[in-house]
Structure 1
């Protein structure tokens, strides 16, 4: 949605900063702040549509780097941490599903209308469900930290335990991003209108 390279870089920097500040919550804020990563990838796909070749890999690299630094700061080897397993690398397609959802929405939205709002909610729900299924499923099935025997019944319980909190967190950040988007769009219209009158 950003039209100039300067706007894209500014949006990218802001999103990267939000993700870095909230992703380090394990050591800095003691769980008082929610991780914005999922919302950041969805919003980045929307606002930075067409820049996936550089923006998505950089955001992924940032996510891994922050995780590495936080885990190392705890005095734990990265690969020994509970959350890191072979399934960790499935965060790439998981976050990719959020990026693709945001990008698809940017292509198909019709401005600030109720139909766009409905479409945004539907796309966010589908994208977040795909992300959650990939990330939760890969951790459950591939992590040695999940005790055997593993079963679809046990996975469905685990899936259900965490799904709504992840959805709520993602929706909160995307909702805040949507409010900023509406505000920026309205300010741009007012500014353009005043320039036309002069």
Structure 2
């Protein structure tokens, strides 16, 4: 398959995934978690050659979805409790996920135990930094926290890290499994194609 066509397909799937799940972002207790962090991690892996415009496109989409969800609830986007100066920390937060996927792709040469270890490292590190920026921006810069303290911030970070990690890991795991299956299909298809030519 042409590399650009593959990227178009991946980008289209990521846009659909974000649109389908981010609309629940202001309701933390839904059956399907928000896939946004996974979208940026997977995007960094598959779309690293398109980073200059694919990352901004997905970032604009994320904000547009937030705007649509908030205004459709009859509220002003700018006065919503989630939209504060800390809201804009989502840009570097999502960039952290993108860089994690980008780094993994640069060090990826096919499915292996070493690749799995690099996936685990890059994913957990990127998610921890993403959560630090997103949660920290909200905690320290939002009016929703009346008296922020370091202890309160640390507890809040710890309380929310595992659920966000788990929800994001679900989508990244599915993408990783699809990558391995795709590699296996490609590997078995090439010898067959060579035999057909002879």
State the TM-score, normalizing by the size of structure 1. 0.94
Count of aligned pairs: 196
Deviations 1:113-161 (A, max 9, x none): 100001110110100000000000010000011112x110111111111
Aligned ranges for residues 47-126 of structure 1 at < 5 Å? 47-126=46-125
Unaligned 5+ residue runs, structure 2?
Answer: none
> Alpha-carbon deviation of 1:31?
1.7
Is residue 78–residue 84 contact of structure 1 (8 Å, CA) maintained in 2? yes
Correspondence 1:40 to 2:54? no
Contact 1:87-1:142 at 8 Å conserved across structures: yes
Q: CA deviation at 1:32?
A: 2.2
CA contact (8 A) 2:25 2:34 kept: no
Cα gap change, 1:54 to 1:71, in 2 (>3 Å): same
Structure 1 gaps of 5+ residues are: none
Alignment match, 2:187: 189
Q: CA deviation at 1:30?
A: 7.1
Partner deviation per Cα, 1:43-72 (whole Å, 9 max, x = no partner): 110011121111100000110000000111
Aligned to 2:164: 166
Report the alpha carbon displacement of residue 190 of structure 1 after superposing the two structures with TM: 2.0
CA distance in 1, matches of 2:123, 2:26: 29
Cross-structure match for 1:128:
127
Q: Distance in 2 between matches of 1:18 and 1:151?
A: 36
